[in-house]
Every structure is written in structure tokens, then in C-alpha cells.
Amino acid sequence: MSDIQQTDVAVIGGGPVGLATALLMARGGLSVTVLERAPLDTWSEPGFDGREIALTHHSVRLLEQTGAWAHIPQAVVCPLKEARIETGSFRHPLTFDTRGEGVDALGWLVSNNHIRRGLFAAAQHMSNITLQPGTAVQTIRQGQDYAAVHHTGGQVNAKLVVGADGRFSPTRQRAGIGAIVHDFGKSMMVCRMAHESPHHNVALQWFDEGQTIALLPVNGMASSLVLTLPPQEIEALAHMPREAFNAEIMRRVGNRLGAMRLVSTRHVYPLKGVYAHRFTARRLALVGDAAVGMHPITAHGFNLGLKGQDILARQVLAAVANNGDAGNPAALRAFERQHRKATALLFAGTNGIASLYTHDGPPFRQIREGCLRMADRFSPFKKAVTSLLMDRQPSTP
């Protein structure tokens, strides 16, 4: 076994939220070690995974603070001008736009792999961040003064361990922290489709009978397709020949954007929501999907992950400035309170919306149509939702 490494913070999981955590902690003067299972080439140059992330104004500011935004080519950043919600054949959409907000975009759509590359590139330039690819964590011993992380390359002793290893987090399980797991019984297929009609930078969420479709604009004459169906139907579409697939997708979207053709790989993800019973333990904090894994219906999962790690970093850095301990229990409790306040109602509400809008029985259809009609006429509601979508509030010191 190699020599024991000493660090202020050990981050388990080098995905976007894990790397953002490392960057904010490091920019605050702490030493950080990031342990990632993937090999270096996959970690530094992740491939397209189908996911387009709708970044809020606050998330972009956080990416700027980490230094990652400068590493994301502006050519791959697509402004979102309007969001539309429809149900069935009811042609009275609920729309959200920036009119009266004094800005040009609700948010910005960026492919997940470009965000990951930008964060990795920024982390590489930080002398107080140690990146350890190809590293699997074996055990974590949480002591009074530090936590010992045993992994395939040796051991790291850290004042604080941050679990950022996904919604089925092994770190969470090792700490004995349970979670609410909501299985929606559906799968989601994501891919990119080129089309002959312009999207005008409008995102569409369409709750049709028997399916849920999202069309998210990307630069050029293309959109990201997000299709939700029972798992067996998604698997059939995922393996369908391209020409047949193109025809089937055009049929499913009602030829909204003219002729469409697949221009990427297809990716399938099960739909499961996760909410950890606790976000902290002794010298341990959970961030990202390890803490809260949202249903993608509100497009807030990644943004909440960034917000959660921002809260954690602020509390930890304040504790270090006060008493020098990155794993200060009071700081971790404050993080948990704030993050739970920011996520609990949204998680429950999102699951409720997902249930309402994915059932096709007669009462559900009528309720959906009535809700859309009333919501579109109630200006205070639309303004509140627009504010939530944009999240322009400055970070609190």
C-alpha cells in the first residue's frame, strides 16, 4: 500500500457536481482529492450521453466561479427563449418566456459531456486539487478527527468526505443512510434529431396520451429528443433501424418540426427519483444525486446539485475560517438544513406533477387541461415559475 495521503476534502465521484465541489473548495484555499472510478481518458474526454442540461442563471454563475465556463465553447451553448407545456391534443399551451424580465434567455442548454469536460479542464489547472482516476473506494472509516478512505490505490485521510457518486451512491450506503426511491416504472430515451423546421429556441414538454415528449433546442436545425415510455417500448425504439426510427419519431411528435433524422447515438435511462434520509453523517456530506435525484420533468436536477454543493462549500469554508475544521459538525448541520429546505417540497411536488401528467385516465386528462388553462391566465403563477426556471437570485454570502 502506498503512503497515506492527507487532504482537507476527499470527493468521491468525479462527475459534474463532484468536480464543481472540488473547485469551489479549492478556490477557497482547501486541498482536495477527487476519487473517480473511470479511467483518465474517459474522465477527461467524456463522450456524448444524450443529456442536454438546462442551466439556470445561477448555475452559469457558479460555473463561472469554478472556472469551468471558460472551457465550454460558446458555439455549443444554446439560449432558451421560451418553454411550452402541452397535454394531449389540447392546443392551449402554458408558456413561459423572458418578457418583462430584462434578460434575453430563460437559461442555456449545454450537453452534459461539454459541462464535464469544462469542469475537468478547470480542475486540472488547480494545484491544490489531486485527481485520481481509475480509483475505486473500498471502505470509509469516519473517526472523531478525520475520515479514512481506503481505495484501490491506497488511503486518503480527510477532514471531510463528500459523496458525489450518483443516485445509487455506494458512499451513502456505506454510511448507512437510507433513501426514498420512487420508481416511476418508465424509461427515458434521449438522442439528438436534426429537423427541417426551426425550433426558434423554444423548449417543448408535451404530455401526450401514452407518452411524454420533450424537444429541447440545440444550436443549428436540431433538437434533443427526450421520450418517456414503458421500458419495453423504449428498448424496442432504441434498437430500431434508423429509417424506421426516424419515421416513428416523426409520427410520435406529430410532424411538428418537419422531416427529422437521428444524428446521434441513442441512450436509455430508467426513471427513478431518490431522496436521501439524511444528507450528512460524521465528517460526511452528500451532494448531487447522492442527496437528491430528481425526476427530469422540471429540468432542475443538475441545477439543484450545483446549488447544494455551493451551500456546502460556503458552510465548510466559513467553518475553516472560524475554527480550521472542514468537517465541522455545525457547518454540516447548517448545510443539511438549507439544502433540505431548498429541495424537500420541490421533490414532493415534482413527483406529484409527474404522476398527474403521466396518467391517461379520463379524470387526469381533464384535470391537466384545466390546470394548464388556469395557470396560463394567472400572471403571478407564471411569473413565479419563470423566476424558478431562471433562478437569477444572487448567491448569499
Could you read off the pLDDT tens digit of each residue along the chain, which spans 397 residues?
Answer: 457 999 999 999 999 999 999 999 999 999 999 999 999 999 999 999 999 999 999 999 999 999 999 999 999 999 999 988 887 665 667 787 877 667 889 999 999 999 999 999 999 999 999 999 999 999 999 999 999 999 999 999 999 999 999 999 999 999 999 999 988 889 999 999 999 999 999 999 888 888 889 999 999 899 999 999 999 999 999 999 999 999 999 999 999 999 999 999 999 999 888 999 999 999 999 999 999 988 766 556 788 899 999 999 999 999 999 999 999 999 999 999 999 998 887 777 665 555 554 555 556 555 555 565 555 555 554 455 556 666 765 543 3
pLDDT at 200: 95
Q: Is residue 310 within 8 Å of residue 335, measured between CB atoms?
A: no
Q: Is residue 99 within 8 Å of residue 82, measured between CB atoms?
A: no
pLDDT at 287: 97
pLDDT tens digit string along 30-68?
Answer: 999 999 999 999 999 999 999 999 999 999 999 999 999
Rg (CA), the chain: 21
pLDDT at 361: 56
Spans of all domains in the chain: 5-78+107-181+272-362
Cα dist from 173 to 83, 140, 151, 183, 277, whole Å: 37, 11, 16, 18, 11
pLDDT tens digit string along 266-309?
Answer: 999 998 889 999 999 999 999 999 999 887 665 567 888 999 99
pLDDT at 199: 96
pLDDT tens digit string along 136-152?
Answer: 999 999 999 999 999 99
pLDDT at 95: 80
Nearest CA-CA partner of 163 in 30, 346, 26, 293: 293
Q: How many CB atoms lie within 10 A of CB 258?
A: 11
pLDDT at 383: 56
Note the Cα 275 to chain centre separation in Å. Answer: 14
d(CA 361, CA 210): 10
pLDDT at 365: 57
Between strands 107-111 and 52-55, the pairing is antiparallel
What residues contact 179, with CB distance under 8 A and at least 6 apart?
Answer: 172, 274, 275, 276, 277
pLDDT at 299: 58
Model pTM?
A: 0.89
**What HEC string does the chain produce?**
CCCCEEEEEEEECCCHHHHHHHHHHHHCCCCEEEECCCCHHHHHCCCCCCCEEEECHHHHHHHHHHCCHHHCCHHHCEEECEEEEEECCEEEEEEEECCCCCCCCCEEEEEHHHHHHHHHHHHHCCCCEEEECCCCEEEEEECCCCEEEEECCEEEEEEEEEECCCCCCHHHHHCCCCEEEEEEEEEEEEEEEEECCCCCCEEEEEEECCEEEEEEEECCCEEEEEEEECHHHHHHHHCCCHHHHHHHHHHHCCCCCCCEEECCCCEEEEEEEEEECCCEECCEEECHHHCEECCHHHCCHHHHHHHHHHHHHHHHHHHHHHHCCCCCHHHHHHHHHHHHHHHHHHHHHHHHHHHHHCCCCHHHHHHHHHHHHHHHHCHHHHHHHHHHHHCCCCCCC
Cα dist from 194 to 14, 81, 116, 228, 288, whole Å: 31, 19, 24, 19, 31
Q: In degrees, to the nearest 5, what angle opens at C-alpha 127 toward C-alphas 306 and 26?
A: 30
d(CA 368, CA 297): 15
pLDDT at 238: 97
Grid cell in block for residue 214: 420533450
d(CA 19, CA 66): 9
pLDDT at 396: 39
Topology (CATH level 3) of domain 5-78+107-181+272-362:
FAD/NAD(P)-binding domain (3.50.50)
Grid cell in block for residue 50: 444524450
